Amino acid sequence: MTDTAAPAAPARKPRWTAQWKELYEEVIDTGLCTGCAGCVISCPHDVIGYDHQAGGYKPFHLEDELGPTDCIHGQKGCTTCTRACPRFRTWEAEADEHLFARTREPDEMSGIYQDVLLTRASDDYVHKMGQDGGLVSALLIWALDHGYIDAALTSYVEGDGTSWKAVPGVASTKDEVLAGAGSRYTYSANTLAIDEALERGFSKLALVGMSCQSSVPPVMWHRKVGKISKPIVFNIGLLCSKTFDDAIFPELFEAKYGLKKQDMVKMNIKGVFQIWMRNGDYHEINLKECHAWTREGCKCCPDFSAEHADISTGGIGENNDWTLTIVRTDLGREIISRMIDDGSIIARPGDEDPGAIDLMRRLSIVSRRRWPEFAEASVKVGVPPPKKKKAAAPAAEALPKEPAATTDGQAASNQAVADAQAPEGATGTAPDATAPEAPTTP
Ligand SMILES: Cc1cc2nc3c(=O)[nH]c(=O)nc-3n(C[C@H](O)[C@H](O)[C@H](O)COP(=O)(O)OP(=O)(O)OC[C@H]3O[C@@H](n4cnc5c(N)ncnc54)[C@H](O)[C@@H]3O)c2cc1C
Ligand code: SF4
Ligand code: SF4
């Protein structure tokens, strides 16, 4: 007998109906919002604003007919903001599926990747201007020169460089890339530079962004947020356990230590908050003192390792002047391979610094532990329970095998970075007397 029954139709995806109201209630009001501005740039009705001020870094609704928690366009069926949000519901699994055609395994705490390398720009000036190995700047310069991109969404310091207010901006030349090189430890929603880039006629963009921003493009692509997501073709992530509120400058650095931001020329976090001053002075501030200025948007963030970038970059490792480079996608691998082949960067196997890879994993665990229990459970799959803190561990003890048990992920995270990145030898002497000038808006 022949079975003539028709095959079962594939299950239909439920229609996406979530709008601003759900975004507000599930992400913004609960503390999951990172301030990445994905919702702001995607809104087709331009009704989502962004609060750039200290204590802010959050989206808000510009129309108030329905109050701040609802949207008239949402009521009429617009769902773009929730589809653009890389903290809304199953964002991690969706971005994984889009990029890697699978979700991460439980033990892939730092996300899915192909290779880990230690890299540095071959050009000495690019290397000097970079925070670590200058890889990010070298990547942007190379991708511009080779037609992969025509501009990058990146970050600058507002004005002449003395404000230390990190702001998003566009780089389309080598000089512009280098003007933004280095790290500022306050928040810059680089996605917001997309309007300027499109106005200037650019159509092939790199996004340089903190881990939270790196998930914006793949989430948008997966959830079919059309127009705004298409120009982003290359995604570079910066490893991150937190950013600080801008209020840290007047309230801690100046009020307690007399360090005025207009006199600062460089900063870094390597075990301590390092600050170089224009007159050559060098200062170190204990990271524990800085915790009170952790930006609100970072307190629940589960992604240390920029798990959805093409290439993720960080400064952990034995050598301060190399960039830890996590190559995730085929595009990332293609670009890195070509740059190694033509001598634009110098690369060493990541295995030469196994401690750095191990530390990345442990810091990724620490960050995942911050993701709250009420939120999407898959983000915490595989996260081991915290180990009990040892009583009165000696101060000079090496980094623990697992991050210490803590309810304050930042504390453990930064202490781990602190221990791991602490420059060998003493404190109080300037490790880099030739710190580059403060970067500025081009
Ligand atoms: C706020 C912050 C926190 C970080 N935390 C860690 C950490 O905990 N552990 C770790 O290993 N690495 C961390 N990093 C990454 C590290 O500092 C370097 O950015 C990375 O190693 C790349 O170095 P590079 O020399 O290759 O980059 P560079 O060539 O110096 O290029 C850096 C790029 O980052 C952009 N940028 C600078 N500041 C910001 C900002 N505030 N927001 C967005 N973009 C910015 C610049 O515009 C530039 O395009 C952090 C970076 C930042 C900005
Ligand atoms: S996480 Fe980003 S996209 Fe989501 S609500 Fe916050 S700013 Fe908008
Ligand atoms: S910890 Fe870093 S990646 Fe996470 S929200 Fe804060 S700035 Fe973004």
The residue whose C-alpha atom lies closest to atom 3 belonging to ligand 1 is 240
Task: State the architecture of 20-89 in CATH terms.
Answer: 2-Layer Sandwich (3.30)
DSSP states along 30-64: TT------HHHHH-TT--EEEE-STT--EEEES--
Among 181-185, 266-270, 283-287, 369-373, the range scoring the smallest mean pLDDT is: 266-270
Express each pLDDT in 411-436 by its tens digit: 333 334 433 333 222 223 334 333 33
The pLDDT mean for the chain works out to 88
Q: CB under 8 Å to 394, separation ≥6 — which residues?
A: none
> What pLDDT is attached to residue 101?
98
Any idea which residue has 């620490």 for tokens? 366
User: How many angstroms is it from 307 CA to the middle of ligand 3?
Assistant: 12
Q: Could you say which DSSP state residue 132 is in? A: S
The residue whose C-alpha atom lies closest to atom 45 belonging to ligand 1 is 155
User: How many angstroms is it from 46 CA to the middle of ligand 2?
Assistant: 15
Express each pLDDT in 318-328 by its tens digit: 888 999 999 99
Which phi-psi region, left, alpha or beta, contains residue 76 (left: φ > 0; alpha: ψ -120 to 50)?
alpha
The residue whose C-alpha atom lies closest to atom 5 belonging to ligand 3 is 298
Helix (H), strand (E) at residue 275: strand 273-277
Calpha distance 155→180 (Å, rounded): 6
Please give the angle made by the CA atoms of 283, 284 and 286, to the nearest 5 degrees.
150
What is the C-alpha R_g of the chain? 22
Choose the residue to mutate in 187, 191, 298 for probing ligand 3, maximizing ligand atoms within 8 Å of C-beta. Answer: 298
- Model confidence band, residue 389 (pLDDT cutoffs 50, 70, 90): confident
Express each pLDDT in 60-115 by its tens digit: 999 988 999 999 999 999 999 999 999 999 999 999 999 999 999 999 999 999 99
* CA-wise closest residue to 219 among 164, 292, 228, 358: 228
Q: Indicate the domain borders of the chain.
A: 20-89, 115-245+297-369
> What pLDDT is attached to residue 391?
61
- C-alpha distances (whole Å) from 405 to each of 243, 355, 365, 408 are 22, 20, 11, 9
User: How many angstroms is it from 7 CA to the middle of ligand 3?
Assistant: 47
Does residue 394 surpass a pLDDT of 50? Answer: no
> What pLDDT is attached to residue 3?
52
Neighbours of 138 (CB within 10 A): 25
> Going edge to edge, which strands form the sheet with 264-269?
264-269, 273-277, 282-285
Q: Which residue has the higher pLDDT, 9 or 135?
A: 135
Q: Is 131 in the pocket of ligand 1 (CB under 6 A)?
A: yes
Average pLDDT for 335-346: 98
Q: Which atom of ligand 3 is nearest to the CA of 297?
A: 5
Under 8 Å between Cβ of 359 and 416: yes
Alpha helices in 50-190 (DSSP H): 72-75, 80-84, 91-100, 124-129, 135-145, 174-179
Express each pLDDT in 298-335 by its tens digit: 999 999 999 999 999 999 988 889 999 999 999 999 99
Q: CB under 8 Å to 176, separation ≥6 — which residues?
A: 169, 170, 442
> What pLDDT is attached to residue 64?
83
